[in-house]
C-alpha cells in the first residue's frame, strides 16, 4: 500500500477511535488541592523509588517527578511499569517529550512524532487526573532542535500538539519547553526574550496552546551563583520572563520549574525553596538531577556515582513538605491490580492488546 494512502487511513482511524472514546474530565486547577511542590528530575523509570524517598520525605506526599520520554523508546511494558510505580510511591509524573540525538543535535520533532506521543501516552492509566506533558526542551538552543533555531517552528508544532493531545484526552495538561535564560545570541543559541518576541510576532495566540509554563531558573553564571542573586541569569530568571510576558498581556496561572540545579555543594536549596521561590503560582519544582552516574551531569547529581547522598540531596530531603492530595484519575485503581510488567515473561502476565492498536500497527508498517 502506498505510504500516502497509509497516512490518510492512519489519520482517519485515529479520528474515528478518538471519537469512540468515553468522555473524560478536563484538567483541574492543580493549586485548588493540597500540593507538595517538591519534585526531582530523573532519567530512567528505575529511579522512581529513590525519587519518592526524596520528594516525599519529612512527612510529604505526592511530590513530582520529571522524566523524558524519547520517540525511539516507546516500550509499552517499561512505561506501564513506570506509571504503576508512580501510583505505588505517590509521585505525580511530568513527562517531557524528546526525540533522539544524531551526532551533536536532537532531531527536530515532526507532527508525526506528536501523533505517536499523544496516542502512546493515552494508552496508559495515569495515576493522576492531570497528565502533565512538557513539549520538548530549550528550543532556543540549536542542538535541541535539529541544529537550527526556529521560534516559528516551535509555535507551529505547539499548536498542532495542543489540538492532538486534547483530542486524545482533555486530561492532558500541556506545558511549554523551558528556555535557557543565559543563552546568548549567536549561531547556536538565541536570547530567550528574543525567542519569546519572535513567537509572539509569528502567532500572538501561542500562549493559549499551553495550560502551564515551564522555566529553568538555574543559578548562573556557571551554575554556581548564590541563591540570592538578583540578576536575570540567576534563580530569579523566571521573574524576568514573567515580566516580559506581561508586555503581551500574558499572565501564566501555573508555573513549573522543570529544571534547576547547582554545582555548589551546599546551602543553595534551602534558601532557594524557602526564601526565593515563593510565588504562589508555582506548582512543581524538579531539580536536575537525581542520579547522573559519572556522565556529563555528574556535578549536578543529588546522588554520587556510588548512589550515596550528597549534601544537596540531604538539604532537599530535610526541607519541609506538604501532604499533596491530587485528583486521581478514574483509572488509577487499575494500576493497583496490574501484574509486574517490568518482568512479564508469560502470556498470563501480558495485558490484552486492543484490536484497534494492532490494526493501526498493521496499516502503518
Pairing of strands 105-106, 101-102: antiparallel
Instruction: Give the whole-angstrom CA distance, residue 259 versus residue 270.
Output: 16
Dihedral over alpha carbons 28, 157, 213, 225 (to 10 degrees): 150
Residue 83 pLDDT grade (very low, low, confident, very high; cuts 50, 70, 90): very high
Q: DSSP label at 240? A: H
Mean pLDDT of all residues in 5-20: 45
Nearest partner of 138 among 195, 94, 222, judged by Cα: 195
Please, what are the domains in the chain? Answer: 29-342 (3.20.20.80)
Lookup result for grid cell 490518510: 8
| pLDDT of 162 above 60 | yes
Share of the chain above pLDDT 90, in %: 81
**348 vs 98, more confident:** 98
| pLDDT of 291 above 80 | yes
| pLDDT of 9 above 70 | no
| pLDDT of 84 above 60 | yes
Concatenated DSSP letters for 264-312? S-SSSHHHIIIII---TTEEEE--B-SB-TTSTTGGG-SB-TTSPBPHH
| pLDDT of 315 above 80 | yes
Residue 73 pLDDT grade (very low, low, confident, very high; cuts 50, 70, 90): very high
**16 vs 98, more confident:** 98
Mean pLDDT of all residues in 6-32: 58
| pLDDT of 339 above 90 | no
Amino acid at each position: 500500500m502506498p505510504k500516502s494512502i497509509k497516512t490518510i487511513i492512519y489519520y482517519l482511524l485515529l479520528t474515528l477511535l478518538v471519537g469512540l472514546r468515553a468522555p473524560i474530565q478536563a484538567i483541574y486547577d492543580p493549586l485548588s488541592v493540597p500540593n507538595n511542590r517538591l519534585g526531582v528530575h530523573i532519567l530512567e523509570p528505575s529511579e522512581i523509588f529513590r525519587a519518592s524517598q526524596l520528594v516525599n520525605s519529612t512527612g510529604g506526599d505526592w511530590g513530582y517527578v520529571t522524566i523524558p520520554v524519547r520517540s525511539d523508546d516507546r516500550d509499552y511494558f517499561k512505561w506501564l511499569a513506570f506509571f504503576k510505580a508512580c501510583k505505588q510511591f505517590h509521585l505525580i509524573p511530568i513527562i517531557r517529550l524528546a526525540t533522539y540525538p544524531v551526532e551533536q543535535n536532537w532531531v527536530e520533532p515532526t507532527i508525526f512524532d506528536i501523533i505517536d506521543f499523544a496516542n502512546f501516552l493515552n494508552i496508559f492509566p495515569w495515576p493522576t487526573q492531570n497528565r502533565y506533558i512538557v513539549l520538548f526542551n530549550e528550543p532556543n538552543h540549536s542542538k535541541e532542535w535539529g541544529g537550527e533555531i526556529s521560534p516559528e517552528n516551535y509555535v507551529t508544532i505547539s499548536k498542532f500538539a495542543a489540538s492532538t493531545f486534547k483530542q486524545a484526552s482533555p486530561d492532558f495538561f500541556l506545558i511549554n519547553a523551558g528556555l535557557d535564560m543565559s543563552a546568548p545570541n549567536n549561531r547556536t543559541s538565541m536570547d530567550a526574550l528574543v525567542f519569546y518576541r519572535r513567537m509572539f510576532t509569528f502567532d500572538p495566540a501561542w500562549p493559549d496552546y499551553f495550560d502551564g509554563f515551564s522555566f529553568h531558573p538555574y543559578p548562573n553564571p556557571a551554575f554556581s551563583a548564590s541563591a540570592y542573586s538578583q540578576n536575570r541569569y540567576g534563580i530569579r530568571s523566571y521573574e524576568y520572563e514573567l515580566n516580559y510576558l506581561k508586555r503581551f498581556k500574558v499572565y501564566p496561572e501555573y508555573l513549573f520549574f522543570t529544571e534547576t540545579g547547582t554545582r555548589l555543594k551546599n546551602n543553595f536549596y534551602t534558601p532557594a525553596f524557602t526564601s526565593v521561590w515563593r510565588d504562589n503560582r508555582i506548582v512543581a519544582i524538579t531539580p536536575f538531577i537525581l542520579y547522573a552516574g559519572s556522565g556529563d551531569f555528574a556535578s549536578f547529581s543529588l546522588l554520587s556515582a556510588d548512589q550515596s547522598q550528597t549534601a544537596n540531596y540531604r538539604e532537599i530531603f530535610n526541607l519541609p513538605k506538604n501532604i499533596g492530595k491530587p485528583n486521581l484519575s478514574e483509572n488509577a485503581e487499575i494500576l493497583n491490580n496490574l501484574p509486574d510488567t517490568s518482568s512479564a515473561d508469560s502470556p498470563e502476565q501480558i495485558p490484552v492488546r486492543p484490536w484497534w492498536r494492532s490494526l493501526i500497527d498493521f496499516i502503518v508498517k
